[in-house]
Amino acid sequence: MSELDAVPRQALAELLLTVADDEFVIGFWDSEWTGIAPMLEEDVAMSSISQDEIGHARALYELLAGLTDTDADAIAFGRPAADFRHAALLNHARTDWAFTVARRYLYETADAVRLAALARSSYAPLSELVTKMRREESYHLLHMDAWLRRLAAAAHDRLASALERAWPDAQAIFTPPAGEAALLEAAILPDPFAALHERWLGQLRPVFAELDLPIVSAAVPSDGRTRRTDDFAWLHGEFTSVAGSEAGATW
Amino acid sequence: MNETERAEAFYAHVGSGGKVEADDWMPDDYRAAVLKFVEMHANSELMGVLPEREWILRAPTLRRKLALTSKVQDEVGHAQLLYRVAEDLGKPREQMLADLMAGTTKFHNVFHYPTRSWADVGIIAWLVDAAAIVSQQALRDSSYAPYARTMKKICWEESVHIMHGRDVVLTMMNGTAAQRALVQDALDRWWGPLMQMHGPPTDPSKDKDLHWRIKAKGNEQLRQEFLSIYVPRIRELGLRIPDSELEYDEATGRWHYTEPDWDELRSVVTGHGPKSQERLAFRRFNHGQTQWVRDAVLAPAAAAA
């Protein structure tokens, strides 16, 4: 699709950046559990999931790099914090295990809806990549579903309050990238994000009702992918500390 | 056969290269010695996670990020496997973790030191893992068969870590003057602990771990093997080893080196290293923070069983 017009090309770049940054940032936060998770078995599992996310981010950044004539590491490590486009849900620090489970469950379910749509994208390199990603993501979803149910049964209040905290910013996963209209017109994005949001809520409602978990009323914020926090500024400082320590150095 | 004859027959069996399985009869002192050895190894894997974990968020490229996270994850996996081997000898995992965090059991000297730059990540993965693999390869012949089998898997993964570590070091040595200086600084700091890592030479006739073939090679033999393989490789990259006495003696076929600081080793492994207490406190803190998860998830499972 090298013959892409400038308008959908720019919009595609924005779309790729939102998905890639989501995967990159959640992968970074949760990789912090490596070595200190609640149980050794879960430590290994959560680390695998984080590594999968970083791997997905790398593949998406590479796709984007091909469109914008740069390289994946430059996109990942060479941008100021303000240029990241991840959803506000991922602005929060790792926090505790309840928040990690709550955030991951909301993220995995929302991501599954988004990827199911992108698997039908008219832009073949994206639909092919997403098909591969979904194989790993379906395992993440099973794993987080098991944790959600376990904590709902054994630590209900902790989980419920973590979900209440994560919920408003989770809506930002469906904040559309700039240029959504052009993406829809070119069928790069088969469904509008507003429809994906409804689909996601439709899937969550029965699960939350079954487990007696709260759904807070919250709209999709228009600034959901541009708002940044001190937590993220700290994380950005960490992951650029070596990469940005000497101009021109290779690591 | 009385108890003494039974023990004599057992030691004759392991002395001639025989293997012991978890459900075989074994003398109490053999069981205690294997447990102590494996428990310290498991503790070391778990504590060895911490110095490198500090760099998981700072890895400078996507490829390094994946390699480092995967390496640290492997070590957590090794701890899990080794605690399982130790548990079968009669000590529950929670008790081993409690003893580790209380400072009553030990972990290897190299995990008591700070990491100061990205070059430390390379030196640890390359040389600390290389020194470890020299002894771990010998443990594949351990008389305690479950430990020997576990070491086969661990050795394979450690060999991947060494390649990752060497690549980090090589990339920096091929980089800028500042990068090369970071690597040399890291080597200068790690060389002492590396030379101490296998422990002081022991009298083989008095080293019961060796006598019972829990381990297959003596401390000095392991250090000599490490030097033979790695001194040329370190020098090949343009690095200077900080020991003016270090040289290979053709006549004896042995490396000569400055006597390692055995007082430092004893002090460090008994909890007086530069990072010993901070890392144990960090373990205790995180264990405490996640206690509610284990209580919530493991308690109902235990009640149902």
pLDDT tens per residue across all 305 residues of chain B: 788 999 999 999 999 999 999 999 999 999 999 999 999 999 999 999 999 999 999 999 999 999 999 999 999 999 999 999 999 999 999 999 999 999 999 999 999 999 999 999 999 999 999 999 999 998 999 999 999 999 999 998 999 999 999 999 999 999 999 999 999 999 999 999 999 999 999 887 888 888 889 888 999 999 999 999 999 999 999 999 999 999 999 999 999 999 999 999 999 999 999 999 999 999 999 999 999 999 998 876 666 65
Between A102 and B297, the higher pLDDT residue: A102
- The residue to which tokens 């053709």 are assigned: B250
Decide if A35 touches B, using CB distance below 8 A.
yes
For residue A2, pLDDT beyond 60 = no
Q: Please tell me the CATH superfamily of domain B19-304, with its number.
A: Ferritin, core subunit, four-helix bundle (1.20.1260.10)
What is the rounded CA–CA span in Å between residue B283 and residue A35?
9
User: Rounded to an integer, what is the distance from CA A79 to the centroid of its chain?
Assistant: 18
Q: Is B69–A58 a contact, with Cβ atoms under 8 angstroms apart? A: no
What is the rounded CA–CA span in Å between residue A244 and residue A250?
10
B95's CB contacts (< 8 A; 6+ apart) are: none
Decide if B12 touches A, using CB distance below 8 A.
no
Decide if B58 touches A, using CB distance below 8 A.
yes
What is the rounded CA–CA span in Å between residue B88 and residue B92?
8
* Of B38, B86, B72, residue with least CA distance to B209: B38
φ, ψ of residue B32 in degrees (nearest 5): -65, -40
CB atoms within 10 A of CB A44: 17
Q: Which residues of B touch A246 (CB under 8 A)?
A: 176, 178-179
Please give the structure tokens belonging to residue B7. Answer: 């023990």
Instruction: Collapse the DSSP code of B288 into the 3-class scheme (helix H, G, I; strand E, B; otherwise coil) and give the result.
Output: helix
- The residue to which tokens 């530069």 are assigned: B274
- A134-156 average pLDDT score: 96
Decide if A45 touches B, using CB distance below 8 A.
no
Q: Is residue A158 assigned to a domain? A: yes
Instruction: Tell me the longest C-alpha to C-alpha distance in chain A.
Output: 55
Nearest CA in chain A to B177: A249
Q: Is B58–A239 a contact, with Cβ atoms under 8 angstroms apart? A: yes
* Of A144, A135, A138, residue with least CA distance to A106: A144
Please compute, for residue A188, the number of CA atoms within 13 A of its CA located in the half-sphere on the CB side. 23
Total of domains in chain A: 1
* Of B163, B160, B158, B165, residue with least CA distance to B123: B165
Q: Which residues of A touch B79 (CB under 8 A)?
A: 40
Nearest CA in chain A to B169: A251
Domain residues for the domain of A171 are: 6-239
Q: Is residue A248 assigned to a domain? A: no
ipTM: 0.95
Distance from CA of A157 to the nearest CA of B (A): 12
Q: Is residue B146 exposed (0-12), middle (13-18) or buried (19+ Cβ within 10 Å)?
A: buried
Domain boundaries, chain B: 19-304
Nearest CA in chain A to B122: A251
pLDDT tens string A10-62: 999 999 999 999 999 999 999 999 999 999 999 999 999 999 999 999 999 99
Decide if B69 touches A, using CB distance below 8 A.
yes
Q: Is residue B235 exposed (0-12), middle (13-18) or buried (19+ Cβ within 10 Å)?
A: exposed
pLDDT tens string A159-184: 999 999 999 999 999 999 999 999 99
Q: Specify the pLDDT at position A203.
A: 97
Instruction: Collapse the DSSP code of B61 into the 3-class scheme (helix H, G, I; strand E, B; otherwise coil) and give the result.
Output: coil
Q: Which residues of A touch B97 (CB under 8 A)?
A: none
Decide if A151 touches B, using CB distance below 8 A.
yes
Decide if A250 touches B, using CB distance below 8 A.
yes
Q: How many CB pairs under 8 A join A and B?
A: 119
Distance from CA of A251 to the nearest CA of B (A): 6
- The residue to which tokens 């000297």 are assigned: B109
- Nearest CB to A72 within list B53, B60, B62: B62
B2's CB contacts (< 8 A; 6+ apart) are: none
Q: Which residues of B touch A37 (CB under 8 A)?
A: 290
Q: Specify the pLDDT at position B68.
A: 97
Please give the structure tokens belonging to residue A242. Answer: 């070596």
Render the burial of A128-164: b for 16+ CB within 10 Å, e for the rest: ebbeebbebbeebbebbeebbebbbebbeebbbebbe
Q: For helices B28-53 and B3-15, what crossing angle results, to 10°?
A: 50
What is the rounded CA–CA span in Å between residue A232 and residue A242?
17
Q: Is A28–B57 a contact, with Cβ atoms under 8 angstroms apart? A: yes
**Helices (H), strands (E): how many in chain B?**
13, 2
> Which one-letter amino acid corresponds to residue B143?
S
Please give the structure tokens belonging to residue B186. Answer: 């890291």
Decide if B83 touches A, using CB distance below 8 A.
yes
Instruction: Collapse the DSSP code of A33 into the 3-class scheme (helix H, G, I; strand E, B; otherwise coil) and give the result.
Output: coil
* Of A158, A144, A136, A85, residue with least CA distance to A109: A144
Decide if B7 touches A, using CB distance below 8 A.
no
What is the rounded CA–CA span in Å between residue A146 and residue B89?
32
Report the predicted TM-score, pTM, of the whole model to 2 decimal places: 0.95
Helices (H), chain A: 6-31, 40-68, 72-77, 97-118, 124-154, 156-170, 180-185, 193-210, 230-239
Q: For helices A97-118 and A193-210, what crossing angle results, to 10°?
A: 140
Decide if A241 touches B, using CB distance below 8 A.
yes
Q: Are B67 and B164 in contact (CB under 8 A)?
A: yes
Distance from CA of B49 to the nearest CA of A (A): 6
Q: Which residues of B touch A249 (CB under 8 A)?
A: 175-176, 178-179
Q: Is residue A246 assigned to a domain? A: no
Q: Which residues of B touch A40 (CB under 8 A)?
A: 76-77, 79-80, 83
What is the rounded CA–CA span in Å between residue A145 and residue A203?
13
Nearest CA in chain A to B42: A40
Taking the alpha carbons at both ends of chain B, their separation in whole angstroms is: 39
CA dihedral sign, ordered A183, A184, A186, A189: positive
Contacts within 8 Å (CB) and 24+ apart, B6-15: B11/B212, B14/B143, B14/B212, B14/B213, B15/B211, B15/B212, B15/B213
What is the rounded CA–CA span in Å between residue A168 and residue A174?
11
At residue A145 the predicted structure's pLDDT band, cuts being 50, 70 and 90, is very high
Query: HEC string of B213-271?
Result: CCCCCCHHHHHHHHHHHHHHHHHHCCCCCCCCCCEEECCCCEEECCCCCHHHHHHHHHH
Decide if B85 touches A, using CB distance below 8 A.
no
CATH classification of the domain holding A93: 1.20.1260.10
CA dihedral sign, ordered B210, B216, B217, B219: negative
Q: How far is CA A198 from CA A101, A106, A201, A223, in A?
A: 22, 14, 5, 19
Q: Is residue A211 exposed (0-12), middle (13-18) or buried (19+ Cβ within 10 Å)?
A: middle
